[in-house]
């Protein structure tokens, strides 16, 4: 019975070498100067958009959280703050007033 429970439990994968490099880059970035997008392309050979897609998936993984909880939580907070900021912006046009409709 115990073997069956272990077999049905989700298996958490270890971090890959690329995952560790992504986390290390983010951890060390504060000490660097220059354009981050250029550093991402130079370091990983990826466009910034793809880098952030990979990073955001990574910081949601339990393995990354176990590896460096302070960094991962900080990155999650930054991502969530950016998401809230984007959601707060209003891109819709204002409804026309009665005055505008009669002109």
pLDDT in tens, 36-70: 999 999 999 999 999 999 999 999 999 999 999 99
Q: What percent of the chain has pLDDT over 90?
A: 61
Residue among 78, 53, 77, 68 at smallest CA distance from 15 = 68
**How many domains in the chain?**
1
The verdict on residue 90 lying in a domain is no
Question: Which residue is listed with tokens 């912006």?
Answer: 89
Where in the sequence is the domain holding 41, given as residue range(s)?
A: 15-85
Q: Which pLDDT band, with edges at 50, 70 and 90, does 101 fall under?
A: low
The verdict on residue 42 lying in a domain is yes
Dihedral of CA 61/67/70/72: which sign? Answer: negative
Angle at 30 between CA 64 and CA 58, to 5 degrees: 20
pLDDT for 8: 43
| Residue 44: both structure tokens together | 């990983």
Q: Torsions phi, psi of 72, nearest 5? A: -65, -45
């Amino acid at each position: 019975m115990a073997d069956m429970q272990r077999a049905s439990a989700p298996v958490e994968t270890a971090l890959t070498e690329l995952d560790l490099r992504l986390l290390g880059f983010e951890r060390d970035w504060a000490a660097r100067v220059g354009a981050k997008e250029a550093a991402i392309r130079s370091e990983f050979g990826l466009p910034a958009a793809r880098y952030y897609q990979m990073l955001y998936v990574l910081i949601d993984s339990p393995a990354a959280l176990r590896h460096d909880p302070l960094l991962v939580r900080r990155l999650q907070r930054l991502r969530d703050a950016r998401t809230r900021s984007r959601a707060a912006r209003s891109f819709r046009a204002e409804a026309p007033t009665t005055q505008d409709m009669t002109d």
